Amino acid sequence: MPRGGVQKSEPLTGHALRNANLRQRSLKRSKSAPPLARKAVEVRVSDLGMTRIELARQSGISRGALRDLELGIHTPTRNTLERFIEFSDEAGVSEERLDELRDLYAGPADSMENVIARLELKAGSSPRLARRVGVSAATLWEYRRGNFPVPHAILQKMCETLKVDFGRAEEVWEDSERSRFLERGFPASLAEFCMLRLRAGHAESDLLELGLGTAQLRRLCYLELLPWARMAGVASTMCRNDAELKKLRELWQEDYRQQKAEGLHAFGLRVKKLREQQGITRREMSDLFMVGGKKPARIIKHIEEDGHYSQQAFPAALIALLADPLASEDEFAKKQTKSQRDIENGRSDSNNGHSFRRDCGAQDAASRNGSAITDLVEAECEEAARRLAFEDSIELRKLWEQRRIRFHLRHRPEMQLDLRMQREFFGFNVNDAARVLGYTSLEYQKIERGIEQLSDSARTRILKALSESGYEKVGEIFQRRSQRDMKRVAWKSPGSVSEMIRLLAVREGGLVPLSRKLRDAKLSGISPPRLRSYLQEEETPSWSLLHGIAESCSVKHLGEVHINWIHRYREQLSQKSDSLLAVELRLLIAEVAPTLRAFAKRLPFNYSVLLRDLYRVEGHEPIKWPHIERLLRAAGLPSSSERWRVIVRLWEAQN
């Protein structure tokens, strides 16, 4: 018999009849009430057998709160409904009836939001549940609305604190976590693995301690599956029984075969293949991108083998550098050679011009340098845009985007992926992109994360601005490569004596290896200290010796070096003698012989006679022309040359 009820065999009289009529009127009135109110009236009348005032007096719930609940005026508080359920449970109401009340209030326990709502109902209020579990009310609010995933340990603590069956809640949590990962583009097997990892209380970084390598973890971050043999040991520590491990293994192997057929790792492999085809080392690539650290080539290795994204070695420049190099090699080389020739004209003019033209020549050279550099930069930007428009380049970009989008879906599926991919393709960080577009960093982050709405015209403008700035950034990489290539071949056409020694030392790996190479070429007397004195312009060798160094090292373009050597050697001789005739004679001898003794072998007299004549010229003593003429003819100077006539005039002036 319901609590408060009367025996059916006895006729109802007095208050009992009055209460029965009140209960029946409540049932009729509840037919038009909301479902929760109707169910509460049914429990009170059919199961408890009480009037509203009797229930209020015995349960401690106010009459006004019960009236509002049964009439459906507003949704009752958790505290009111939980006190109603607790009283009904103590009175012997079936659990099914009470679950119906909970379902109508918090919804069925088929999602984490409803599970938390039912737990809040059990605790009496959301702040009360938060205090008992040890989290903030705001965090619990985020859990209930699905903004934050509920940690497994927190859910277990909620259930243990409220003495609620944790098994059913855990099943709902597992389904919720699987769905969350699947919605972000995870393969089914990886979603199952991540659910098991979170259930075991492990963060991603803990996988390294469980035996997974850094490169393997990076591939998992890109949603790429590893062979099951590498994952079996880690997975066995997370599965509770063999059935779970078998299920995970079957899912994993099926998804791994599917990913292998799709070829998700094709971008890095294509980059590696193109780089090897062109004979470029990883260190050369990393130097172009100015990657620092002890092992900069490791960045390129991670890109090729692990799918690593680097803001320094950004994809646009990688694709432009490696895509179809033969199609534009001749055209770009011509532009580069012409621009470099224009840049070098300023130096040639300043070295070869007369003194009264130096100022004007310097200004003209600076002007030509500026325009030539501007033209070269523009040509390189155009070349970058052209290369990125190749079919192979577009295909490479699609492969990169296919892989990178999976990474972003894993972290922030709500972001504006087209803006993020354009920014990362050209290697811009948030601050760089904001500076290019005219936003503050915070404003652009809100746009990219989808917090602020963006019109189609604004989206087009952002993509275009990032693209144009990105082409300039790729052009800088091309310019850096051009400068590197020019430095590599600069030893073939040096501009001065010291520059030739420096470039040859760089090519050979130092002054000592260069000295060893010259010694092997049968050039004697060229030690590392002597080469260092040539490099530091403390000493100037004879042209004959310098020409021998150039021939031994395959340097053929010596026009500017010869001009520079004449200036340096003449200045060196002028410091030792004030006789212009002696300077010109010694300069002529140094051009054809490494030493005076070697030059004396060309003369019909011995070495001492040569020294005597030179000392007489340096001392401004009178000397007959035949003594000078035989030196000129031994040096092979034609009598019809301008230099012969200059020496004649100097001899006449001295005598």
| Amino acid letter, 539 | E
Of the listed ranges 150-164, 312-326, 399-413, 607-621, the least confidently predicted one is 399-413
Q: Are 38 and 31 in contact (CB under 8 A)?
A: yes
Residue 51: CATH number of its domain = 1.10.260
Mean pLDDT of 91-101: 82
* pLDDT score, position 128: 86
Residue 327: pLDDT band by 50, 70, 90 thresholds?
very low
| Amino acid letter, 458 | A
Q: What is the pLDDT of residues 577-590, one digit of tens each?
A: 888 888 888 888 88
Q: Is residue 326 located within the same domain as residue 471?
A: yes
Burial environment of residue 222 by CB neighbours within 10 A (0 to 12, 13 to 18, 19 or more): middle
What's the mean pLDDT when you consider all of the chain? 82
3-class secondary structure per residue, 320-335: HHHCCCCCCHHHHHHH
Q: Is residue 346 located within the same domain as residue 443?
A: yes
* pLDDT score, position 424: 92
3-class secondary structure per residue, 222-280: CCCCCCHHHHHHHHHCCCCCHHHHHHHHHHHHHHHHHHHHHCCCHHHHHHHHHHHHCCC
pLDDT at 356 > cutoff 70: no
* pLDDT score, position 654: 83
The most confident of the ranges 89-103, 325-339, 603-617 is: 603-617
Q: Is residue 352 located within the same domain as residue 299?
A: yes
* pLDDT score, position 264: 57
Q: Is residue 460 located within the same domain as residue 417?
A: yes
What is the count of structural domains for the chain?
5
Evaluate whether residue 293 is within a structural domain: yes
Q: Is residue 407 located within the same domain as residue 397?
A: yes
Q: What is the spatial distance between Cα 248 and Cα 267, in angstroms, rounded to a whole number?
A: 28
Q: Which residues does 288 contact at the CB level (< 8 Å), separation at least 6?
A: 317, 321, 477, 480, 481, 484
Residue 9: pLDDT band by 50, 70, 90 thresholds?
low
Residue 375: pLDDT band by 50, 70, 90 thresholds?
low
String of DSSP letters for 381-422: HHHHHHHHTSHHHHHHHHHHHHHHHHHHHHH-TTS-HHHHHH
Estimate the crossing angle of helix 441-448 against helix 417-425, to 10 degrees. 120
Residue 341: pLDDT band by 50, 70, 90 thresholds?
very low
* pLDDT score, position 377: 62
Q: What is the spatial distance between Cα 49 and Cα 104, in angstroms, rounded to a whole number?
A: 22
How many percent of the chain have pLDDT more than 70? 89
Residue 253: pLDDT band by 50, 70, 90 thresholds?
very high
Evaluate whether residue 141 is within a structural domain: no
Residue 324: pLDDT band by 50, 70, 90 thresholds?
low
Evaluate whether residue 584 is within a structural domain: no
Evaluate whether residue 6 is within a structural domain: no
Q: Is residue 254 located within the same domain as residue 271?
A: no
* pLDDT score, position 252: 93
Mean pLDDT of 47-53: 85
Burial environment of residue 59 by CB neighbours within 10 A (0 to 12, 13 to 18, 19 or more): buried
Residue 338: pLDDT band by 50, 70, 90 thresholds?
very low
Q: Which residue has the higher pLDDT, 514 or 223?
A: 514
User: Model pTM?
Assistant: 0.57
Evaluate whether residue 590 is within a structural domain: no
Mean pLDDT of 67-83: 81
* pLDDT score, position 344: 46
Comparing CA positions, the residue from 111, 29, 119 lying closest to residue 67 is 29
Comparing CA positions, the residue from 573, 643, 580 lying closest to residue 617 is 580
Burial environment of residue 269 by CB neighbours within 10 A (0 to 12, 13 to 18, 19 or more): middle
* pLDDT score, position 374: 60
Residue 345: pLDDT band by 50, 70, 90 thresholds?
very low
Domain boundary (71, 106, 141) is at 106
Q: Are 589 and 635 in contact (CB under 8 A)?
A: yes
Please calculate the CA angle 421-424-425 and round it to the nearest 5 degrees: 80
Evaluate whether residue 4 is within a structural domain: no
Of the listed ranges 298-312, 361-375, 595-609, 615-629, the least confidently predicted one is 361-375
Domain boundary (264, 292, 307) is at 264
Determine the straight-line distance between the first and last CA of the chain, rounded to whole angstroms. Answer: 150
Evaluate whether residue 431 is within a structural domain: yes
How many percent of the chain have pLDDT more than 90? 16
In the chain, what is the greatest distance between 2 CA atoms, to the nearest angstrom? 165
Q: Is residue 414 located within the same domain as residue 270?
A: yes
Q: Is residue 310 located within the same domain as residue 373?
A: yes
Q: Are 469 and 428 in contact (CB under 8 A)?
A: yes
Domain boundary (106, 139, 170) is at 106
Q: Is residue 384 located within the same domain as residue 441?
A: yes
Q: What is the spatial distance between Cα 91 and Cα 386, in angstroms, rounded to a whole number?
A: 82
Q: What is the pLDDT of residues 282-319, one digit of tens each?
A: 998 898 898 888 888 888 988 888 778 888 899 999 99
- Can you give the residue range of the structural domain that contains 81? 14-106
Q: Is residue 570 located within the same domain as residue 625?
A: no
DSSP assignment, residue 77? P
Evaluate whether residue 123 is within a structural domain: no
Q: Is residue 543 located within the same domain as residue 413?
A: no
For residue 252, how far is the Cα from the chain centroid? 30
Q: Which residue has the higher pLDDT, 358 or 519?
A: 519
* pLDDT score, position 414: 66
Q: Is residue 252 located within the same domain as residue 298?
A: no
